Amino acid sequence: MADVIDDTEASVNFNPLQTRVWASGRHAVRCVRVISETWDVKTFCFNAAEPMMYFFKPGQFVTLELEIDGEQVMRSYTISSSPSVPYSFSITVKRIPGGRVSNWLHENLKEQDELAVHGPNGDFNCIDHPAEKVLLLSGGVGITPLMSMARWHFDTNADVDVTFVHSARTPRDIIFQRELEHISSRVTNFSLSIICERIEIGQSWNGYRGYLDESKLEMIAPDYMNRRIFCCGPTPYMNAVRKLLAAKGFDMDFYHQESFGATPMDVTQEAIEQAEIAVKVAEEVKKAATFTVEFIESGMSIQVPPGETVHAAASRLGITIPRGCGVGICGTCKVHKKAGEVDIQHNGGITEEELEEGYVLSCCSTPTSDLSIEY
Ligand SMILES: Cc1cc2nc3c(=O)[nH]c(=O)nc-3n(C[C@H](O)[C@H](O)[C@H](O)COP(=O)(O)OP(=O)(O)OC[C@H]3O[C@@H](n4cnc5c(N)ncnc54)[C@H](O)[C@@H]3O)c2cc1C
């Protein structure tokens, strides 16, 4: 009888008509599955205590808010799943040698653990940049946003011709290989090529070897000049792709790339650098024209020299505005500006609507007048 009651509860919980839809913001989520993808890559799947539909644009990311050793740490991770399977979402994380958060996630995050995520965010997606023919180029863990796009096109039976070219170090480093092969075996408008940089002793590999270069690209995707290109991978990989395309006269309006970017400084390093900045700023303040930035809720204000960001000014006052990527991508440091003007150099972490409503990203906004910030 107890089993019957449990079944009823489960069916109510998962009634799609009663399921809420998430919106960009801060969300409490629960880790519900951990999957080993390769020797140094794991996928973490999440849902919420209350059923939620996780709709987002394939290619977008979330920013995790974690507490590690008593400190709040934020890092951004692309959503590797697709909104076509919306009851849960996942991120896929590669261990970075010496990396604080990626190693912590691999070693500590387990099923039933709860954490907060911010998002979804990001301009690198296939909804804002639609196309009938796409070329998805990925290197290493840069596969995550492109996998989300590939899953989306496949699950929705989209009339989109996809050429997916993934580069990995060795055969044991290929992420999502079986699933990509499955997709390519099921539909005719999805072609997959994998390039391994090198083959180690004991490994077998029949595919392409070396780096993605002009001759390989022309062999794999002879019509690449007529495709919208999405590229994500290590900086040298993306630089090489850009150089190759530019040399061919590719129209870069149809080229999009995602950088996993500069990681935030760890707290100790940050404290040292903040102290150094504070000294420099104090000197600058003496000699340069300054603006006053007021943090209304904190009841403090400060003089800032030209070029100092709102986030750095807040830090000098001891005000901690949460920050993720530090380069205007993730949107974590968004604050509301009540008065004044800023020069904002963001990378897609804020929408036009939010800018019109007076929001700014504090990590990449410098005052161009006196400012009042609601924080
Ligand atoms: C939009 C976006 C999407 C992303 N998506 C993904 C994704 O899907 N999957 C994924 O795996 N990653 C993704 N990233 C990268 C991710 O956010 C992290 O940057 C990554 O996991 C490394 O974080 P970490 O804390 O492990 O490394 P960190 O601790 O930040 O260290 C990074 C590097 O710096 C070195 N380092 C750290 N501290 C010091 C120091 N004091 N002195 C010298 N060197 C130091 C480390 O050894 C390491 O090499 C994404 C990033 C962005 C911005």
Each residue's pLDDT tens digit, 112-141 = 999 999 989 889 999 999 999 999 999 999
What's residue 348's pLDDT? Answer: 77
CA distances from 159 to 130, 156, 223 (A): 11, 9, 17
**pLDDT above 70: percentage of residues in the chain:** 89
Q: Is position 253 within any domain?
A: yes
Q: Is position 63 within any domain?
A: yes
Q: Is the CB of 261 under 6 A from ligand 1?
A: yes
In this structure, the residue with its CA closest to atom 15 of ligand 1 is 260
What's residue 266's pLDDT? Answer: 39
Q: Is position 194 within any domain?
A: yes
Rounded to whole angstroms, how far apart are CA atoms 183 and 181? 5
What's residue 21's pLDDT? Answer: 87
Residue 351 gets the label, from left (phi > 0), alpha (psi -120 to 50) or beta, of beta
Q: What totals of helices (H) and strands (E) does the chain contain, helices first? A: 9, 21
Residue 140 sits in the same domain as residue 253: yes
Q: Is position 198 within any domain?
A: yes
Distance between Cα 159 and ligand 1 center (Å): 36
Distance between Cα 39 and ligand 1 center (Å): 18
Domain that holds residue 22: 2-121
CA atoms lying within 13 Å on the CB side of residue 261: 20
Q: How far is CA 75 from the centre of its chain?
A: 9
Q: Is the CB of 144 under 6 A from ligand 1?
A: yes
Q: Is the CB of 76 under 6 A from ligand 1?
A: yes
Q: Is the CB of 106 under 6 A from ligand 1?
A: no
Let me know the angle formed at the C-alpha of 256 by 42 and 219, rounded to the nearest 5 degrees: 85
Q: Is position 278 within any domain?
A: yes
Distance between Cα 11 and ligand 1 center (Å): 40
**Domains identified in the chain, total number:** 3
Residue 140 sits in the same domain as residue 229: yes
Residue 190 sits in the same domain as residue 297: no
Residue 335 sits in the same domain as residue 237: no
Residue 247 sits in the same domain as residue 138: yes
Residue 93 sits in the same domain as residue 20: yes
Total count of residues recorded for the chain: 375
In this structure, the residue with its CA closest to atom 9 of ligand 1 is 93
pLDDT above 50 for 28: yes
Q: Is position 127 within any domain?
A: no
Dump pLDDT digits (tens) for 294-352.
999 999 999 998 888 999 899 888 888 887 777 787 788 899 999 999 999 987 788 88
Of 89, 121, 153, the position where a domain reaches its end is: 121
For 324, the 3-state DSSP assignment is coil
Dump pLDDT digits (tens) for 57-81.
999 999 999 999 998 889 999 999 9
| Mean pLDDT taken over the chain | 89
CATH of the domain at 39: 2.40.30.10
Q: Is the CB of 175 under 6 A from ligand 1?
A: no
Between 159-173, 252-266, 269-283, the lowest mean confidence (pLDDT) is in: 269-283
Distance between Cα 354 and ligand 1 center (Å): 28
Band of pLDDT at residue 12, cut at 50, 70 and 90: very low
Rounded to whole angstroms, how far apart are CA atoms 305 and 322? 22
Band of pLDDT at residue 255, cut at 50, 70 and 90: very high
Q: Is the CB of 268 under 6 A from ligand 1?
A: no
Distance between Cα 115 and ligand 1 center (Å): 19
Residue 208 sits in the same domain as residue 234: yes
Q: Are 333 and 323 in contact (CB under 8 A)?
A: yes
What's residue 323's pLDDT? Answer: 78
Of 45, 77, 361, best ligand 1 pocket probe by most atoms within 8 Å of the beta carbon: 77
Average pLDDT estimate for 245-260:
95
Band of pLDDT at residue 274, cut at 50, 70 and 90: low
Looking at residue 99, its amino acid is G
Which residue carries 């075996």 as its tokens?
Answer: 185
Residue 29 sits in the same domain as residue 96: yes
Of 121, 146, 174, the position where a domain reaches its end is: 121
Which has more confidence, 106 or 20?
A: 106
Q: Is position 126 within any domain?
A: no
Of 201, 233, 258, the position where a domain reaches its end is: 258
What's residue 264's pLDDT? Answer: 43
Distance between Cα 82 and ligand 1 center (Å): 23
Q: Is the CB of 176 under 6 A from ligand 1?
A: no
In this structure, the residue with its CA closest to atom 31 of ligand 1 is 99
Residue 280 sits in the same domain as residue 195: no
Residue 274 sits in the same domain as residue 217: no
Q: Is the CB of 93 under 6 A from ligand 1?
A: yes
Distance between Cα 239 and ligand 1 center (Å): 19
What's residue 13's pLDDT? Answer: 65
Residue 181 gets the label, from left (phi > 0), alpha (psi -120 to 50) or beta, of alpha
What's residue 351's pLDDT? Answer: 86
Residue 271 sits in the same domain as residue 254: no
Q: Is position 128 within any domain?
A: no
Distance between Cα 258 and ligand 1 center (Å): 14
In this structure, the residue with its CA closest to atom 43 of ligand 1 is 98
Q: Which atom of ligand 1 is nearest to the CA of 103?
A: 26
CATH of the domain at 293: 3.10.20.30
CATH of the domain at 251: 3.40.50.80
Which has more confidence, 91 or 305?
A: 91
Q: Is the CB of 61 under 6 A from ligand 1?
A: yes
What's residue 286's pLDDT? Answer: 58
pLDDT above 80 for 289: no
Rounded to whole angstroms, how far apart are CA atoms 55 and 77? 16
pLDDT above 60 for 89: yes
Q: Which atom of ligand 1 is nearest to the CA of 98?
A: 47
Residue 143 sits in the same domain as residue 219: yes
pLDDT above 50 for 221: yes
Q: Is the CB of 101 under 6 A from ligand 1?
A: yes
